[in-house]
Amino acid sequence: MSSRNRIETDVAEIYRAAFADSAGEVVVTVPSAEAVERLVWVLDDFDDPPSVRLLAHDGVLKTAMGDFIVASTAADLIEAEMLSMRTTDGSGMTPLIVGEARVVSVVTAGGRVAGLVTDDDEFVESARKKYDSAWDESESYHLRTPPLSRVRETMDEAFGPDMLGDFDDVLASLDTARGDDGGLDEVTISLLVAAKNEELLYDISKWGEDTGVASKATFSRTKTQLEEMGLIDTTKVPIDVGRPRLRLLLGDDRLTDADADELAAVAGSLLSAGNAA
């Protein structure tokens, strides 16, 4: 980012400009939950991003990482050592992007966001010391969501490319995957895709627990909720030893007739209608 100030409609553009010529590590301080999401997308889209240390309020990170798409992408960035996250109470902090050559103050007002740049050597050095110290004194944020690359790789191994393709299509059709207000979370998505491909509940639940998506109990509980709302049906499959296992099926003709990229919208509509009833 040059020393010229910028005014944009999206904080993502401020991040892109700041990272374009940043070398070494960059510290991003106390962004909003929306700004955290934008940061993740910018880093994921960057060809050669700097290593970013994100220092944020615990509640902000919990809100941002409540979206499976954001959290699993962030987990990939963490695994690639492009992102690290710690929590702070934010006392005396304002939203900043602190690089090695400049400090950018991020100011939001009137639906727009400004990046106000300072490249005074003495000021930048002082800011680096302050926020390096704040980083050392902060606590790591433990992200429990598995990396999206691992989720996709293990799904392909366990169920094959057709189901993975459906999973990718569903995710691509969603803006968020939170599971609130009729939305779909990662467990609901996995179960619907498994039902579309007529997989066993046991297999998708075991995959989910082994991969770190959610526990078998969570998969079973969500299956029951979806079954009660008519989105999923099951049929018993005998096995040599033990109780029969359940094969998942889509329970509504509107879901059966939907393409994978339409599945989320149709399921969300059915869930919203069911919750409102």
Q: Please give the pLDDT value at position 21.
A: 77
- For residue 277 the two structure tokens come to 């009833």
The answer on pLDDT for 188 being more than 70 is yes
- For residue 254 the two structure tokens come to 């509107």
Evaluate whether 235 touches 194 at the Cβ level (below 8 Å). no
Arithmetic mean of pLDDT over the chain? 92
The answer on pLDDT for 80 being more than 70 is yes
Taking the mean position of all CA atoms in its chain, how far away is CA 74? 6
Evaluate whether 234 touches 201 at the Cβ level (below 8 Å). yes
Q: Please give the pLDDT value at position 22.
A: 78
**What CATH architecture applies to the domain 6-140?**
2-Layer Sandwich (3.30)
The answer on pLDDT for 276 being more than 60 is no
Question: What crossing angle do the helices spanning 201-211 and 186-196 adopt, rounded to 10°?
Answer: 140
Q: Please give the pLDDT value at position 249.
A: 97
The answer on pLDDT for 193 being more than 90 is yes
The answer on pLDDT for 1 being more than 90 is no
Q: How confident is the model at residue 62 (pLDDT cuts 50, 70, 90)?
A: very high
> Which tens digits make up the pLDDT trace of 124-133?
999 999 999 9
The answer on pLDDT for 273 being more than 80 is no
Return the domain boundaries, the chain: 6-140, 148-276
Which residues, 6 or more positions from 265, have their beta carbon under 8 angstroms from its beta carbon? 173, 258
Percent of the chain at pLDDT > 70 equals 97
Q: How confident is the model at residue 20 (pLDDT cuts 50, 70, 90)?
A: confident
Topology at the third CATH level for domain 148-276: Arc Repressor Mutant, subunit A (1.10.10)
